[in-house]
Amino acid sequence: MKESLELFNEIVEALLKDEQSHPVAEFVPSNELYERLDLNLQDEAVTVDTLKEVLQDLVFKTPRTATNAFFNQLFGGRNDKAVLGDLLSVMLNNSMYTYKAAGPQVGVEKVILRKVCDMIGWDEHSNGTFASGGSMTNFMGMLMARDSKFANVPYDGARNKMTVYTSSESHYSVPKNAAFCGIGRDQVRYIDVDSEGKMNVEHLKSAIIEDISNGYSPVLVNATAGTTVLGAFDDINAISVVCMKYDIWLHVDGAYCGSVLFSKKYKHLIDGVEKVDSFSFNAHKMIGTPLTCSLLLVKDEKHLYDSFSNDASYLYQTDHDEFNLGKTSLQCGRRNDALKFWTLWKSVGTNGLEAIVDTQFELADVARNYIRNHPDYTLYSYDDSISVCFNYKDIPARELCTTLYENSELLVGYGSFENEEFVRLVTINSQNEKRDILNFFKVIEEFVENNENALIKRGSIAK
Ligand SMILES: *Cc1c(COP(=O)(O)O)cnc(C)c1O
C-alpha cells in the first residue's frame, strides 16, 4: 500500500505542477486514442516503472476539469478538503446500506441530510438519501410521485394512464426516467417557457386540465432550479399552487443550482421550496465536491420507505431501519458520497459553503458586465444565473467551441434557446477569480485574431 500511495503522491504532484503552466491537457482526438496512449491490457504483469510511466501519461492527457480553463459543464475546480474526504472514503471502502458495514459514516450522511432538511424548513418527518447523480435523484422523486398516487403500482405493475409535466428547458433525465417508471416517454408533457426560460404556469395548468379530462392521472410536476442551458429558476410558489389544487407531487430538480439554498442572497430563487414534496441537488456542481454527490430530500420520509424499502434477511441483521440506509436507497451497495461533502462542510462551515455559492454569481456578473461593455459580443442569458450565454463576432458557437478545444485553448460548450445557438460560459468553479473570467475572454479574442484562417477554413467566419 505504501508504495502505491507514494506513487499516487508523485503523480498528483507532477499533475498539479503541470496544470499551472498547461491548464488544458494535450488534445487527443478520439480516432487516435489507442495509438497515442498505451491502454491495452496484456497477460503479463508490468514493472512498477512501466506502470508509473503509463499512468502518468494517462493522467497528463486527461481533460483538466479543475483549472481556470475548464468551463465546459456544470462542475469544475478542485476543493482540497472535499478531495481529502473522498480519498478517505475510498480507503475505508464502506457500503452505506447498513450500520454494521458503514458505522459512523451512516451518521455523517444522516447529519448532512438533517441539516439540509432544516435549512429547507421541514420538520422531523423529512429525510433524504444520496444517489449516484442528479438523474438518479430525479428518478427517485418520480418513483415516489408515482407510488404516492398509485400505491398498487409497485406490486401490480403500472397500468394506469399517468402523466408528468416538466418545462421544455428541463433536463433530459425526465423523459428517460418516465420510461424507467412505466409512465412512458410519450406521457411527458413539455410545458412552454417564458422569454427567460422559466416554466409558463398558465400552460402547465391548461395541460393538466386537458389531460384530466382525457382520463389521464397527472402524477408529477418537475420544476427546475437552474435549467441546464440558461440556468433559469422556475417559480416554485406559483407551481405549488397548481400542484396543491390538482393533488400532484411537486419535485424540484435543483441538480445544477439547488445549492442556492446555502446563500442568504440567492435562496430567494427557490422561494417556496418548503412547499414541495421532494427536492434534489448536486453538491458536485455548485458546492464543488468531486463527482458524484447528489442529494434527494423528501418532506415526508414515509415515501422513501414506501418506494425503496425491501426486506432482505441476508443484509439487514442489526440495528433499526433508521440506521440501515439501504432501506431508503435506490441501490444496494452504495459508495460513501457523504464524507467528501461533510469534510468540506466541517472545514469551511455553512458560511464557507455560502461563500462558494455567492462567488459563482459574482463571477457571472463579471462575465455579463464584460459582454455588455464589449460590442463584439451578444448576450443571450439573464441576471441571477451562473450560465452566461453569448456569441462573439457572430462566429457560430459550435465552431468556436470545437476549435478552441482542438487547439487546447479552453474547454467551453455551446447551447441553444429559441433558435439561437451560443457559447455557454458556466462560472461554477468558485476557485476562479475575476481575472480568470477576464482571461477567458482574452483567450477567445486572441485566438480568433490569430486563427482567422483556420476559422475561415472551417466556414466559421466569412472571408
Ligand atoms: C446536471 C443536471 C442533472 C443530472 O445530474 P447528473 O448528476 O449529471 O446525473 C439533472 N438536472 C439538471 C437541471 C442538471 O443540470
Distance CA 224, CA 166 (A): 8
130 and 293 Cβ atoms separated by less than 8 Å: yes
Peptide bond into 292 cis (omega under 30): yes
Any domain includes 367: no
CA-proximal residue: ligand 1, atom 4 (nearest): 134
Domain count, the chain: 2
Q: How confident is the model at residue 292 (pLDDT cuts 50, 70, 90)?
A: very high
What is the residue with the minimal CA distance to atom 2 of ligand 1? Answer: 255
pLDDT surpassing 70 at residue 459: no
Instruction: Return d(Cα 294, Cα 259) in angstroms, integer.
Output: 11
Q: Are residues 146 and 293 in the same domain?
A: yes
Domain range spanning residue 17?
A: 2-64
Whether 161 is covered by a domain: the verdict is: yes
**Mean pLDDT of all residues in 432-453:** 95
* C-alpha cell belonging to residue 29: 482526438
Q: 267-281, 312-326, 412-426: lowest mean pLDDT where?
A: 312-326
pLDDT of residue 320: 86
Boundary-marking domain end, from 343, 375, 402: 343
Asked whether residue 209 is domain-assigned, the answer is yes
Pairing of strands 387-392, 420-426: antiparallel
Same domain, 88 and 60: no
Q: What is the DSSP letter of 463?
A: -
Ligand 1 within 6 A of CB of 134: yes
Q: How confident is the model at residue 73 (pLDDT cuts 50, 70, 90)?
A: confident
**pLDDT digits 0-9 by tens, 97-142:** 999 999 999 999 999 999 999 999 999 999 999 999 999 999 999 9
Supply the pLDDT for residue 312: 84
Ligand 1 pocket check for 280: Cβ under 6 Å: no
Longest pairwise C-alpha distance within the chain: 73
- What's the 253 CA to ligand 1 centre distance in angstroms? 8
Assess whether the C-beta atom of 293 lies below 6 angstroms from ligand 1: no
- Report the C-alpha gap between 439 and 215 in whole angstroms: 56
Ligand 1 touching residue 126 (CB < 6 A): no
Q: Is residue 90 part of a domain?
A: yes
% of residues, the chain, pLDDT over 90: 94
Mutate to test the pocket of ligand 1, among 282, 286, 387 (most ligand atoms within 8 A of CB): 282
Residue 434 near residue 363 (C-beta atoms within 8 A): yes
3-state secondary structure 317-354: CCCCHHHCHHHHCCCCCCCCCHHHHHHHHHHHHHHHHH
Final residue of a domain: which of 328, 343, 358? 343
267 shares a domain with 199: yes
Angle at 202 between CA 196 and CA 203, to 5 degrees: 80
Output the nine-digit C-alpha cell for 169.
428547458
Q: Tell whether the model's pLDDT for residue 462 goes beyond 80.
A: no
Rounded to an integer, what distance in angstroms lies between the CA atom of residue 111 and that of residue 187? Answer: 37
SS3 content of the chain, % helix, strand, coil (to 5): 50, 15, 35
CATH number, domain of 193, equals: 3.40.640.10
Do 46 and 100 share a structural domain? no
Judgement on whether residues 89 and 60 belong to the same structural domain of the protein: no
Do 35 and 161 have their domain in common? no
**Do 197 and 59 fall into the same domain?**
no
Task: Identify whether 358 is part of a domain.
Answer: no
- Average model confidence (pLDDT) for the chain? 96
206 lies in the same domain as 134: yes
* 377 domain residue, yes or no: no
CA distance 213 to 296: 32
Written as one letter, the residue type at 130 is F
In a domain, 442, yes or no: no
In a domain, 106, yes or no: yes
| Residues 241 and 208 sit within 8 Å (Cβ to Cβ) | no
Instruction: Indicate whether 218 and 130 sit together in one domain.
Output: yes
**In this model, does residue 463 exceed pLDDT 60?**
no
Same domain for 175 and 282? yes
Quote the pLDDT of residue 92: 98
pTM of the full structure: 0.96
The confidence score (pLDDT) of residue 458 equals 66
Phi, psi angle pair for 15, to nearest 5°: -65, -50
CA–CA distance from 168 to each of 199, 228, 254 (Å)?
8, 11, 16
Per-residue burial over 390-421, b if 16 or more Cβ lie within 10 Å, else e, is bbbeebbbbbbbebbbeebbbbbbbbebeeee
121 and 214 assigned to the same domain:
yes
Cell 440556468 sits on residue = 231
Are residues 251 and 108 part of one domain? yes
Q: Which of 325, 343, 361 is the last residue of a domain?
A: 343
